[in-house]
Amino acid sequence: MEAGISSAILRFVALLIFVGFLLAVGILFVFFTGQTREFCLFDERANSLRR
C-alpha cells in the first residue's frame, strides 16, 4: 500500500517537473524569438540609416 502511494507521488512529481520544464522552454522560446525579431527590426533600421 505505502509503496503504491510513494510511486504515485513520484509519478506526480515527475509529471509536474516535466510540465514545468515544457512551460519554461515555451516561455524562453517565445521570449527569444520576440527578442530576435526586435533585434532584426533594429538592424534593418540601422541599415536604412546607413544608406
pLDDT tops 90 at residue 36 = no
The residue with cell 520576440 is 34
The pLDDT tens digits for 11-26 are 999 999 999 999 999 9
Mean pLDDT of 22-34: 87
What grid cell was written down for 32? 527569444
Buried b / exposed e over 6-42, threshold 16 CB at 10 Å, is: eeeeeeeeeeeeeeeeeeeeeeeeeeeeeeeeeeeee
Instruction: Give me the mean pLDDT over the 33-49 stretch.
Output: 69
User: Strand runs (DSSP E) across the chain, as ranges?
Assistant: none
- Extract the C-alpha cell encoding 33: 524569438
Measured in whole angstroms, the distance separating CA 48 from the mean position of its chain's CA atoms is 33
Cell of 25: 522552454
